[in-house]
Structure 1
Amino acid sequence: MFLPLHDGVPLKNMKTPLATRCLIGVCVIAYLATFYGPLGEDAMVGGFGFIPSVLFGTEVLPEGYPFVPAELTLATNIFLHGSLFHLIGNMLFLWVFGDNVEDAMGHLRFILFFLLCGMAASLAHAFITTEPHRPLIGASGGVSGVVAAYLILYPRVKIWGLFLKGIPLHLPAYWTIGFWFVLQFAAAFLGGDDSVGWFAHLGGFIVGAILTPLLRRRYDPVLARVQAQELQAPR
C-alpha cells in the first residue's frame, strides 16, 4: 500500500490547477449523487458504470438502463466510486500528482489526457476481465495515467507518502511510483483483490506514459535544466 501526501513542486505555468480541482469536484458530486441522490446506488452504477458485456453486445440491461450509450460509459464510469475510501484514495493521488502534470500540459490537454487514460483503462479491463457482466467504476485508470506522467516529468522529485502499514517516508518519485507500480503489476498477475480492476490500472499507466510526450508543453531544454536544479536544491 502507498498513499502520497505531498511533493512540494511549485507550479511554473499557471497559478491554479483548475482542471485538477474540477475533476475532483465532479468525482465528489458524483459520489454524493450515487449514495445520497434520488436515483440510488444501483441505478447510478447500472446507468453510468462500464459493463464490458453490454459494450460487446453479449448482455442487455433491463429497460431504462443504461442512462447513456454503452460507449459513453467508458468515460462516465471514471467519475463514480463505490465507497468513501475508494474516492479519497483516488482523489489524494489526483491532488498530489495532478496539479504538476496539469502545469506541464495545460488545462484542456490535461482533461483530455485524464479522460483518454481512463477510457483506455476501461478497455484494458474489458478485454481481460473474466467477469464481463460486473460494472467497473472509479477514476483509478485516469489517475494511473497521471501517475505515469508525473514519473516521466519529475522522476527525481522527493515525495512524502505512507508506505505499507502507514510508514512515512520521503523518497524520489522513481522509488515511490515504482513501488506503487510493482504492487499493481503483482496484484494483476499474481492474484489481488477481485473487486479491484488491476489491469485497468496498468492500462491507464501505459497509455499515460505514451501520451505524456505528445500532450506536454513544448520542451525547452534550458528551462528544464533550471527547473531540475531548483527541484534538486536543498529545502
Structure 2
Amino acid sequence: MVIPVHDVNPVGRTPYVTYALIAANVFVFVFMPGLAGSLPGDSEPARLCHTQAFLEQYAAIPQELIRHQLPRLVPTGELAPSGGCALGPPGYDKSPALSVLTALFLHGGWLHLLGNMLFLLIFGNNIEDRLGHVRFALFYVACGYAAAYGFALANADSADPLIGASGAIAGVLGAYLVLYPRARVWVLVPFLIFLPLRLPAWIVLGFWFGLQAVQSSDQGVSDAGTVAYLSHVTGFVAGMLLAWPLRPGTPPPPEPRGLLFGRRARPGW
C-alpha cells in the first residue's frame, strides 16, 4: 500500500468546496455519538448502543435502499435489561434515499476519517479546479450515490450500515486518473522505512483501484459499520465516466523537474 502525500499539479482557484467537505466530515465525526464524542459517564456497552441507534437512523442501509421501507424494530440507543441493546419501533422518519447523503459524512474511526480526508485534500482540489465549485459539489454527491446504490444492488439483503465518504472520494480518484494520468504524485512506500517516491498518477491510482477490486470480494468492515470495497469500485468507475467528456479540454499537468528518487527525471516520466 502506498500513501500519497502531495501531487505536483497546481490549481488556479481556491478549492472552497473541498475544504468545506473536509471541515464538515471532521465536525460530524467529533460529535458522532459513541465514537469521538460520547456522553459523560457512558459505559462501553452504552456507547455501542448509542452508535448503533445513530447509524440506524443516519447511515445508508442496503435493505432500505432497495426496498424503500424501514425495519419493524431498530436499536433505540438504550441498554436492554437482559443485556445488549434494546430494540423498538423506529421513532423517526427516514428517507432511505436521503440517508445516502448523510452517510457520506459518517466515519467509523479516526483512521477511516483521516485516510479519506487525505485523499480528498490531495486529489479533490484539481477536480474542483477543473469542474468549478458547484459542478464539483454535484459530481461528489453523484459519485457517492453511485457508490452506495452500486453496493446495495449487489447486497440487497444486507442490514449493515454503509458509512463513509470513501465512495464519493473514489469518484474523485477516478476523475483524476482520467484527467491527469501523467501528473506526478509524491507517495510514501513502506519498505523497512517509509520510502518517498514520485510516481505518475496512473500508477498510484491504478494500483489503488486494483487493490479495491481484489478486496471487493472480501467486504471490509470498519469499527462502527460497513465500509464496502465494492462501493469504492463503483464510485471510482462513476467518476471516470463522468470525467471522460472533459478529457479533450483539460490542460496537462506541468512536467516535473529535479530529482526522482536519486535520478534526474526523464521527459515523460
Residue 146 of structure 1 corresponds to which residue in structure 2?
172
Residue 9 of structure 1 corresponds to: 9
Supply the AA of the counterpart residue of 1:143. Answer: I
Structure having the larger proportion of residues in strand: 2
Greater Rg over alpha carbons, structure:
2
Amino acid aligned to 1:7? D
Residue 110 of structure 2: aligned partner? 84
Give 2:51's match in structure 1, choosing from 33, 41, 47.
41
- What residue identity is the alignment partner of 1:3? I
Task: Tell me the CA shift for residue 113 of structure 1.
Answer: 0.5
Query: Which amino acid counterpart does residue 126 of structure 1 have in structure 2?
Result: A
8 Å Cα contact 2:151/2:230 also seen in 1: yes
TM-fit CA distance, 1:127: 1.3
Greater relative CO (CA pairs within 8 A, separation 6+): 1
Partner-residue secondary structure (3-state), 2:4: strand
Corresponding residue for 2:23?
A: 25
* Cα separation, partners in 2 of 1:79 and 1:233, compared to 1, 3 Å: same
Question: 1:72-151 residue pairs with structure 2 within 5 A?
Answer: 72-129=98-155, 132-151=158-177
CA contact (8 A) 1:81 1:87 kept: yes
List alignment gaps of at least 5 residues for structure 2: 40-46, 75-88, 259-269
Task: Write the distance in 2 (CA, Å) between the matches of 1:152 and 1:220.
Answer: 12
CA distance in 2, matches of 1:19, 1:45: 25
| Cα distance in 2 for residues equivalent to 1:171 and 1:147 | 15
User: Residues 163, 124 of structure 1: CA spacing in aligned structure 2 closer, same or farther, 3 A cutoff?
Assistant: farther
| Gapped regions of structure 1 (runs ≥ 5) | none
Q: Sequence identity, in percent?
A: 37
Distance 1:184 1:82, change over 3 A: same
Q: Residues 31 and 80 of structure 1 are in contact (CA less than 8 Å); yes or no, is this contact kept in structure 2?
A: yes
Matched with 2:81 is: none
Compute the displacement of 1:185 (Å): 0.9
Other structure's SS at 2:196 match:
strand
Q: Whose helix fraction is larger, Structure 1's or Structure 2's?
A: 1
Question: 2:17, 2:133 within 8 Å by CA — same for their partners in 1?
Answer: yes
CA contact 1:59–1:133 (8 Å) conserved in 2: no
Change (3 A) 1:8 1:233: closer
CA distance in 1, matches of 2:255, 2:29: 38
| One of 248, 257, 269 as aligned partner of 1:234 | 257
The alignment's C-alpha RMSD in Å is: 2.4
Secondary structure (helix, strand or coil) at the match of 1:232 reads: coil
